[in-house]
Structure 1
Amino acid sequence: MYAYIDGKLTFKCPTYVVVEAGGVGYHINISLNTYSAIGNAERCKIYTWLQVKEDSHTLYGFAEEGERRLFLHLISVSGIGAATCRMMLSSITPSEIQAAIINADVALIQRIKGIGAKSAQRIVLELQDKLKKEGPDSLISMPLHNTIKDEALSALIMLGFGKQVAEKAIDIAVKKSDHDLTVEQMIKTALRNL
């Protein structure tokens, strides 16, 4: 519902922040990773995810879009809730979590408070292929200025194609064309090559 909230940071503690935007103060739950990333900024942009339950609406916030995408992957795992994900992101960095999942480092994941052996194995089992398909650090790093090629690649990955396969198809599409392609043209041509 809310992609991000950009405003004045009116309160900050290790578990939540209050960001004032448009005269409204938003209480946003954060991880220690986000707390460190915000630093002493007076103004901040927090990427958000809204959890809607029968008895509450809770905003979770992240300093970077990549951290939010990793959080969304983690909560998709059966038995892993938002509080557990926040604990994971507070215990180790998002890049360490991603590397642990890709490398099947169950022991590292299991060291996080609240994660047992079965949960750690389930996380690796359900997310390893997804994260491998997207490529290393694809969740963590996100280009600020997307080129047409980057946007086409991102779209193909979202459609379920592996990063390397999609890159090859896009390269073929660019080579075959005798003029500059739009994003739509590049995606359509690449889909024909897949």
Structure 2
Amino acid sequence: MYEFIKGNIAEISATHVVVEASGVGYFVHISLNTYSALNGKKEVKVYVHQVVREDAHTLYGFATTTERELFRNLISVNGVGASTANMMLSSLNPDELKAAVTTENVAVLKAVKGIGAKTAQRIIIDLKDKLGKIPDSGQILTVADNTIRNESLSALVMLGFAKKDAEKIVTKILQEQPDANVESVIKQALKRL
């Protein structure tokens, strides 16, 4: 099995990259997260996972080993194939996906195209313990941000807003403004709710 491919980008799109290494062009399927990390670079190192089937040998590529590990965990779940796992990693970044699984948030998983309620529940049951062992990439929420997020949510729920609606808005605000404090998050959430 291949570990990684290091070379120059010959072609890149939101769904694939062609990496030229030693005169050979490797067609590698990628997620939108990996596309964002690779786009604009000339020389790259892509961590790969090879899927061998009767009719095809397919490479899936990742910018980080954490994303690849998450992909491998997803395809270990019954009913989740490589394309579905790639779609999940395109819809949610690795930290969001881990958070959805570890907090048993079925709604977030169901929002991904091709994932129904049963598959989402199966992913949670199969991966909840495993994903706790994969280190966070630190992309989205740090410990301080989690405190800000939790305090903001508590305040909004006490003001009478539905927790689910408040959670969506607070997450969106913190993604847009990672340095926001509790007061500004609450003020912005009140305007949007």
Q: What is the TM-score of this pair, normalised by structure 2? A: 0.70
Give the distance between the partners of 1:76 and 1:52, measured in 2 at CA: 15
Q: Name the amino acid aligned to 1:117.
A: A
Would you say the 8 A contact 2:47–2:63 is kept in 1? Answer: yes
Give the distance between the partners of 1:8 and 1:101, measured in 2 at CA: 35
Distance 1:28 1:107, change over 3 A: same
Which consecutive unaligned segments of at least 5 residues does structure 2 have?
Answer: 139-193
Question: 2:184 — aligned with what?
Answer: none
Give the distance between the partners of 2:42 and 2:24, measured in 1 at CA: 16
Aligned pairs for 1:142-153 within 5 A: none
Residue 113 (structure 2) pairs with residue 113 (structure 1): yes
Structure 1 stretches of at least 4 aligned residues deviating more than 6 Å after TM superposition: none
Deviations along 1:88-139, one digit per CA (max 9) or x if unpaired, are 011111110001101101110111110000000000000001223x1xx616
Would you say the 8 A contact 1:67–1:139 is kept in 2? Answer: no
Identity fraction in percent: 51
Residue 48 (structure 2) pairs with residue 48 (structure 1): yes
Question: 1:38 — aligned with what?
Answer: 38
Question: 2:69 — aligned with what?
Answer: 69
SS of structure 2 residue aligned to 1:95: helix
Question: 1:138 — aligned with what?
Answer: 135
Would you say the 8 A contact 2:16–2:27 is kept in 1? Answer: yes
Please give the root-mean-square deviation of Cα atoms over the aligned residues, in Å: 1.1
Aligned pairs for 1:148-163 within 5 A: none
- Structure 1 position 14, deviation (Å): 0.6
Distance 1:127 1:45, change over 3 A: same
Q: What is the TM-score of this pair, normalised by structure 1? A: 0.69
SS of structure 2 residue aligned to 1:113: coil
Distance 1:66 1:97, change over 3 A: same
Q: Name the amino acid aligned to 2:37.
A: A
**Number of matched pairs:** 138
- Structure 1 position 39, deviation (Å): 2.2
